[in-house]
Amino acid sequence: MVQERVASMAQFQGSWKLPGGVADPGEDFAETVAREVREETGVQASLVGVATLRHSHGIRFGQGDIYVLVKLLADKDEIQVDPHELQDAQWMSFQRIESLVCYDGKASLDGKVSENNLKMISNALFGSLIEGTLIPNSRGGKPSVLYTAPKPAASAM
């Protein structure tokens, strides 16, 4: 979990959230999240699967915003906080995250976790992951990634 030094809205100043950021041109979201985690915390991580998507309207520059939450596997536990971007960064248990949740949607989230972030984190930890498979790009160039839910067990059909 990370605490950003400067939040986009005063209510979120000092809140705990997952690392993240905006994709660079030509980057897919698996590359984006690995880069953002590395830049913010020094932790190298690789994609395990897609956990959940959040689609909001009017967030960035009045446009829609798709937030992709992925599950990663870290290569190490040591965190190196980027002091220009973050106030703090810590590994937290789910129980610790739950203890920091603020259920008042209008209150300051300083030192807290928003209820929406808890829902996304819970889904990442306990939900089924959507898996990615590289497929050729029909227009050439960088391969595409096809993300699909796991197939149901034969007995469930």
Residue for token pair 């979120």: 12
Element (DSSP H or E) covering residue 123? helix 115-126
Give the model's confidence band at 60: pLDDT under 50 very low, under 70 low, under 90 confident, else very high.
low
Whole-angstrom Cα distance, residue 131 to residue 108? 36
At 102-112, the pLDDT tens digits run 999 889 999 99
Higher pLDDT, 22 or 64: 22
Domains identified in the chain and CATH numbers: 2-128 (3.90.79.10)
Closest alpha carbon to 40 in 88, 93, 95, 74? 88
Residue-level pLDDT at 156: 57
Whole-angstrom Cα distance, residue 122 to residue 125? 5
Whole-angstrom Cα distance, residue 133 to residue 143? 10
Percent of the chain past pLDDT 90, that is, above it, reads 41
At 11-55, the pLDDT tens digits run 989 999 999 888 999 998 889 999 999 999 999 999 888 888 887
Whole-angstrom Cα distance, residue 3 to residue 54? 20
| Average pLDDT of the segment spanning 63-72 | 83
Whole-angstrom Cα distance, residue 155 to residue 23? 40
- Of 27, 31, 36, 39, which one is the catalytic site residue? 39
Task: For residue 39, indicate whether it is catalytic.
Answer: yes
CB 81 within 8 A of CB 34: no
Q: Which residues of 122-134 are buried (b: 16+ CB within 10 A; e: fewer)?
A: ebbeeeebbebee
User: Encoding tokens for residue 70?
Assistant: 């992925």
Residue for token pair 């705990």: 16
Residue-level pLDDT at 139: 80
